[in-house]
A and B are shown apart, each in its own frame.
Chain A
Amino acid sequence: MLTYIARRVFIGVFTILAVTCLVYGLIRNMPGTPLTVMQENPSMDRGMSEKQMKELEKLYHLDKHWIVGYGYWLADVVQGDLGRGISFTDRRQVSTIILSRLPNTLMLTITSLLLTYLLCIPMGLFSTAKNATASERALSVTLYVLYALPTFVAAIYLNLLFAVKLDWLPLGGMTSPNYSELTSFGKAWDLLKHTILPITCLTYGSLAYYTRFVKANMMETIQQDYIRTAQAKGVGPLKVLLVHAFRNSLIPLLTLIGLTLPTLLAGSVILEHIYQWDGIGQLFISKIGQRDYPVIMGLVLMFSVMTLIGQLLADILYAVVDPRITYS
């Protein structure tokens, strides 16, 4: 298994190479360059001169074939340098740019993901146990309603209720205006209050999916004979579900977790926008708009690594939860 992991990591490097090369090729071949965007200015009399454009093009290797540009990028990355932002808005080191936002995003996504699983697994088990009863139906219909409710609508109404009417929670943003004056406990409390609504919005929509997913797989397993064996031993229904059946339906769930792992880093574009959250989602969107190649590449690199980790982890865990699966 160790050799398996080592091999996967080794191959992962090539996968990353392929992905980054592909993405670099794609973004370089999209219409527009960082300079297109830089030139843009709301008033008509300001702009860059041809000469400046040429110089900047040279500076950022935009005058060369993209594969050469990729070569430069790769050479830097190998030396541990992700480059700096090209766009107007932020010229810091790419790593600095990303790292300044990552905690914000993780704060939301990790909590939301945990919450999702913590809610969905019990609800899925509940639905399995109570399949086709009125309570199960009511639960799933509620979840489908939530699923169909667009986040922006929910966000606004939640705001109107909790921020405006009741004034319990802030309207948006990550901190209160007096944040810098608060004690560290106060700061934590303040942050927490700001996260509640975004996390709620980030979570509620996915409940239906995961619950249904857990249920679908559980329904399959509880039919098996070994569940009967467990019951014959006198194992309680909860434990039968949780231990005997659930473990057997874990493989798809692990797959799903593996797949959702990279979304931890991605954040949510819409919610970050609504809640004025300085996260990765907005960063990615805006940098694509600005054609800020180094930052995009940095983000893609990060997503890719996380994706590969997610896949690898899922594959390893398959073998852990199901002894019949082996990799040689």
Chain B
Amino acid sequence: MSADQEPVTQLSKPTKSLGFWATSWRYFRRRFLAMAALYFVIFLALVAIFSPAIVGTKPIVCYYKGNIYFPAMGYFYQPWENAIFTTGDHFDNKYEPNLKKNDPNSWAIWPLVRQDPIEPVGDDWFEGQPKNPSNAEGHPSWQNLFGTSSVGVDVFAQLVHGTRVALLVGFVSMGLASVIGIIIGACSGYFGGWIDFVLSRFIEIVLCVPTLILVIALLAVVENPSIWQVVLVIGLTGWTSIARLTRAEFLKIRQIEYVAAAKAMGAGPVRIMFVHILRNALAPILVPITFGIAAAIFTESALSFLGIGADTETPTWGRVLHEGQDHIRSMWWLNFFPGLAIFSTVLAYNLIGEGIQEATDPRTRDA
């Protein structure tokens, strides 16, 4: 007998079968806002990657004394700035006059905007470019698109270069937190019994120990604090709420028939937890994760206040905001632009989060 008992269907759709996540991605792609948000985050990532080419005072490429150099790499990691420019010939960030002076044959390709995220650009840095204004005079202008800080550091440059930290801290730390939180919460909720008992106590202990104390204690052992410690701290302490939410959801879902069905098929606990239950438990977990990625920016700036933040050579959005705190009334741009940046990332992350939630729910997808 022919198997076709179905009503007539139009449109024979692609026959290749995709996994759950691949299908979700297909549906995600159809959501305009979510995709726009995703593109925005990709855009930010590109900004982060190409920040030295967008703004900077170090040439992207330059020819100097017979060699080709890429001094702008120093923005990623200080020691990558070729030693000849720093400790060698003491350019001290003033590339243009020094290149000319030391080697008339030199040439350089410059970033789009010639501003530095760490130091105020001085009078003699570039020909025809005046010194950066400081304090209340540093309002946005053509020279300093987003204004300057109180000592004259360009805000646009700080924000562009700060994108690296903003993205890194958010994704890596929340990635860490999510992995820990979901695994612990899933085990705890699914197995119940003494496993739940032990893991719940563990969660409680981590919840009870104040982060601040951990941070300061950590500082005592870390010799060179860097952004990675921040990531670690946020990641290792920020998972508790995810774990609790996962646990609660697993407690509920493990009672539903399809879990019994999976068990009856002989599925192991890992499979049941991460293939069957997790995708149905995403709704409450996604929210703290999306917000967590954004909130990491705030946490980073709060921690840097304690001296555990990014080292002083790393520009961050939080730092600009922090400076703005001191000059709220006279230098609005110090709050406005980083605020705008944070807002747009928060919005983007949340749109993506909503998009994921809807794309992973077969019942809302089509609507």
Q: Which residues of A contact B (CB under 8 A)?
A: 11, 15-16, 18-19, 22-23, 26-27, 29-31, 132, 140-141, 144-145, 147-150, 152-153, 156-157, 160, 208-209, 212-213, 216-217, 219-220, 223, 251-252, 254-256, 258-259, 262, 284-285, 288, 296, 300, 303-304, 307-308, 311, 314, 318, 322, 324-325
**Partner among B240, B255, B291 whose Cβ is within 8 Å of the Cβ of A325:** B255
Inter-chain CA distance A30–B363, complex, in Å, is 53
The reply to whether B220 and A223 form a contact with Cβ atoms under 8 Å apart is no
List residues of chain A with CB within 8 A of the CB of B210: 23, 284, 300, 303
Query: In the complex the two chains form, is A307's CB within 8 Å of B207's CB?
Result: yes
B200: chain A residues at CB < 8 Å are 311
1/0 per residue, CB under 8 A from A, across B343-367: the answer is: 1001100100110011001011001
- B287 close to A15 (CB less than 8 A): no
Q: Could you list 17 examples of A-B contacts with CB < 8 Å?
A: A23-B208, A23-B209, A148-B340, A152-B328, A208-B291, A212-B287, A212-B350, A216-B284, A216-B354, A219-B364, A223-B363, A251-B249, A258-B244, A284-B212, A314-B244, A314-B248, A324-B252
- Cβ of B330 to closest chain A Cβ, rounded Å: 12
In whole angstroms, how far apart are the Cα atoms of A145 and B341 in the complex? 11
Chain B residues with CB under 8 Å of A23's CB are 208-210, 213
Report the minimum CB–CB distance from A296 to chain B (whole Å). Answer: 8
- Distance, CA A145 to CA B203, complexed state (A): 32
Please tell me if B286 contacts chain A, counting CB pairs below 8 Å. Answer: yes
Roughly how many angstroms separate A256 CA and B245 CA in the complex, as a whole number? 8
- Please give the distance in Å from A133's CB to the nearest CB on chain B: 12
Given A217-B284, A223-B364, A324-B255; A255-B216 close (CB under 8 Å): no
Complex alpha-carbon distance, A110 and B212, angstroms:
23
**How distant is the Cα of A264 from the Cα of B244 in the complex, in angstroms?**
18
Q: Shortest Cβ distance from B243 into chain A, in angstroms?
A: 10
User: Is B342 in the interface zone, CB < 8 Å from A?
Assistant: yes
Cα separation A138 to B101 with both chains bound (whole Å): 57
- Known contacts A23-B208, A220-B283; 6 additional CB pairs below 8 A are A141-B347, A147-B291, A148-B340, A152-B325, A300-B213, A311-B204
Known contacts A212-B287, A223-B363; A149 and B339 CB within 8 A of each other = yes
Query: Is B205 interfacial (CB 8 A cutoff)?
Result: yes
Please indicate the chain A residues that have their CB under 8 angstroms from the CB of B209 in the complex: 19, 22-23, 26, 300
Instruction: Let me know if B205 and A153 touch, CB within 8 A.
Output: no
Chain B residues near A22: list those with CB within 8 A: 205, 209
How many chain B residues touch A (CB < 8 A): the figure is: 55
- B144 touches A (CB below 8 Å): no
Please, which residues of chain B bring their CB within 8 A of the CB of A209?
287, 291
- Which among B210, B216, B367 has the greatest number of chain A C-beta atoms within 10 A? B210
A156 to B350 Cα, complex, angstroms: 27
Q: Are B255 and A307 in contact (CB under 8 A)?
A: no
Query: Which chain A residue lies CB-closest to B197?
Result: A11
Interchain CB contact under 8 A, A31 and B325? no
**Closest CB in chain B relative to A139 CB, distance in Å:** 13
Given contacts A152-B325, A314-B248, contact A27 B213 (CB under 8 A): yes
B interface residues with partner A (beta carbon < 8 Å): 197, 200-201, 203-205, 207-210, 212-214, 216-217, 220, 240-241, 244-245, 247-249, 251-252, 255, 283-284, 286-288, 291, 294, 298, 321, 324-325, 328-329, 335, 339-340, 342-343, 346-347, 350, 353-354, 357-358, 361, 363-364, 367
A254 CA to B251 CA, complexed, in Å:
13
Residue ID in chain A nearest B291 by CB atoms:
A209
When the two chains form their complex, are residues B208 and A322 in contact, meaning their CB atoms are under 8 A apart? no
CA distance A318 to B250 in the complex (A): 12
Would you call A300 and B208 a contact (CB within 8 A)? Answer: yes
User: Do the beta carbons of B350 and A148 come within 8 Å of each other?
Assistant: no
Bound-state Cα–Cα, A145 to B284, Å: 22
A29 CA / B219 CA spacing, docked (Å): 11
Contact call A153/B248, Cβ cutoff below 8 A: no
- Which of chain B's residues have a CB closer than 8 A to the CB of A141? 347
**B263 nearest CB across to chain A (Å):** 16
In the docked arrangement, what's the CA distance between A308 and B207, Å?
A: 9
Q: How far is the CA of A209 from the CA of B217 in the complex (A)?
A: 30
Contact of A29 among B204, B220, B363 (CB under 8 A): B220
A24 vs chain B, min Cβ distance (A):
10
- Residue contact A304 to B328, C-beta cutoff 8 Å: no
CB distance from B129 to the nearest CB of A (A): 31
Could you tell me if B205 and A251 are in contact, using CB atoms closer than 8 angstroms?
A: no
> In the bound complex, how far is the Cα of B209 from the Cα of A304, in angstroms?
8
